[in-house]
């Protein structure tokens, strides 16, 4: 019985491979025009670390449009970016990023 199941799986795999080989996959490059913005992050301690780590995915305007949150909430956001979204942020940069975000968009 096990040999019959194994042969059935192998036969199915061969059929699937043959079917995929007949599909013509064509890749093409596309151009994407991103909107321009003159908004920049305000100067302050940690702005370079935020620039180097965050602006690859987020615009300055997107960061500046975030609601004011306590420092602990900013720490959770940075943690989410690193762990859930796999942002390549070094652990050593996290405190500077959190401090900067809390300084410019922290609770009053």
pLDDT single digits (tens) 58-93: 999 999 999 999 999 999 999 999 999 999 999 999
Protein fold of 47-105 = Cytochrome Bc1 Complex; Chain D, domain 2 (1.10.760)
Average pLDDT, the chain: 88
- Return the number of other C-beta atoms located less than 10 Å from residue 46's C-beta: 19
Q: Is the dihedral of CA 55, 59, 61, 67 positive or negative?
A: negative
Measured in degrees and rounded to the nearest 5, phi and psi for residue 84 equal -80, -40
Q: Which two three-digit tokens encode residue 12?
A: 């199915």
């Amino acid at each position: 019985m096990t040999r019959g199941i194994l042969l059935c799986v192998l036969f199915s795999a061969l059929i699937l491979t043959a079917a995929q080989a007949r599909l013509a996959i064509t890749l093409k490059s596309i151009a994407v025009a991103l909107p321009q913005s003159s908004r920049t992050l305000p100067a302050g301690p940690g702005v370079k670390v935020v620039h180097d780590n965050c602006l690859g995915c987020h615009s300055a305007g997107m960061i500046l449009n975030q609601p004011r949150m306590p420092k602990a909430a900013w720490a959770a956001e940075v943690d989410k970016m690193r762990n859930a979204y796999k942002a390549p942020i070094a652990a050593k940069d996290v405190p500077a990023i959190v401090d900067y975000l809390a300084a410019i968009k922290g609770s009053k």
